[in-house]
Amino acid sequence: MEVQLEGCESCSCDSLTLYDASTSSVLLGPLCGSAAGASAPDPVCASPGADMEASFVTDATAERKGFQVVVYEVKATDERCA
């Protein structure tokens, strides 16, 4: 995941939040500012069959690169989801 959004105190300018769509539980976020490479968030593992929902909020006052999220299925036994 790469995130490059406007960074403001408490993510009040731009933010990205990932939710478990079936429960509305926050899986990751809110994210703001820059997160890439070593500072990128850990992978998010949702329960099998869960739908994820992304919420992007912006105040449209500045332009940044944005965000990229890669989603793929992994087995429940995958060590990254332990």
Name, in order, each residue with C-beta under 8 angstroms of 9's C-beta and a sequence gap of 6 or more: none
Domains identified in the chain, total number: 1
Kindly state whether residue 58 falls inside one of the protein's structural domains.
yes
Does residue 48 lie in a domain region? yes
Integer-rounded Cα Rg, in Å, for the chain is 14
Give residue for tokens 């997160």: 35
For residue 82, being part of any structural domain is answered with: no
DSSP 5: -
* Assigned domain for 72 exists: yes
Q: Kindly report, residue by residue over 55-82, the tens digit of the pLDDT.
A: 888 888 888 877 777 777 777 677 766 6
Is 63 inside any structural domain? yes
* Residue 51 domain flag: yes
pTM assigned to the model = 0.68
Full residue range of the structural domain in which residue 31 is found: 2-77
pLDDT tens for each residue of 8-51 = 888 888 888 888 888 888 877 888 776 544 455 666 666 555 67
Report yes or no on 27 lying in a domain.
yes
- 17 occurs within a structural domain: yes
